[in-house]
Amino acid sequence: MLFGRLNHVGIAVPSMEEAQERYRALFGAGAVGEPVDLPAHGVTACFVSTGNSEIELIAPLGEASPLAAFLEKSPAGAQHHLCFEVADLPAALRALKAEGRRVLGEPRIGAHGTLVAFLHPKDMGGILTEIMEAPHAGH
């Protein structure tokens, strides 16, 4: 067993302000966090708590944001990725590579301050999949 809990569902949004307003109406104002710029990822991210998991609203940041082309195809917004927790990111990457799954780029520090990596959708049933080392994984 490699993957643990669903940490978040990544949703691309064209306007963070409009998205925050919608999620405040649906989940309550207290569930919607403050947007944080993640320049290394080319996105602004804002987490919404669903109690058991989170939604990560992401909007393009900067000229070279990888989200721009995605939103051209889905201008209203769309589901973008799923993120699952793993206990040990380097070990998980070794196991996934041994199964022939491709990793996109190098592991980086993600929005929660732990290492994350992305797996190629073609090896994951069409789903862009993020794995993140669980916070407080204890090593």
Strands 54-60 and 6-12: parallel
* Nearest by Cα to 81 from 102, 112, 111, 56: 56
Stretch near its own copies under the rule CB under 8 A, chosen from 6-14, 34-42, 59-67, 109-117: 6-14
- CB neighbours of residue 11 within 10 Å: 19
Answer yes or no: 18 catalytic.
Answer: no
H helices present in the chain, as ranges: 16-27, 67-73, 89-98
Residue of the chain from 40, 64, 69, 76 that contacts its own copies (CB under 8 A): 76
Q: Does 36 bind its own copies (CB under 8 A)?
A: no
Select from 17, 26, 37, 90 the one that contacts its own copies (CB under 8 A): 26
Non-local (6+) Cβ contacts of 52 within 8 A are none
Candidate segments 18-26, 34-42, 61-69, 107-115, binder of its own copies by CB under 8 A: 18-26
Is 28 a binding residue for its own copies by CB under 8 A? The answer is yes
Identify which range of 37-45, 59-67, 109-117, 123-131 contacts its own copies by CB under 8 A.
Answer: 123-131
CA dist., res. 59 & res. 119, Å (int) = 20
| Residues recognised as catalytic | 130
- Interface with its own copies by CB under 8 A: which residues? 1-6, 9, 11, 13, 18-19, 22, 25-28, 31, 50-53, 55, 74, 76-79, 82, 84, 99, 121-122, 124-127
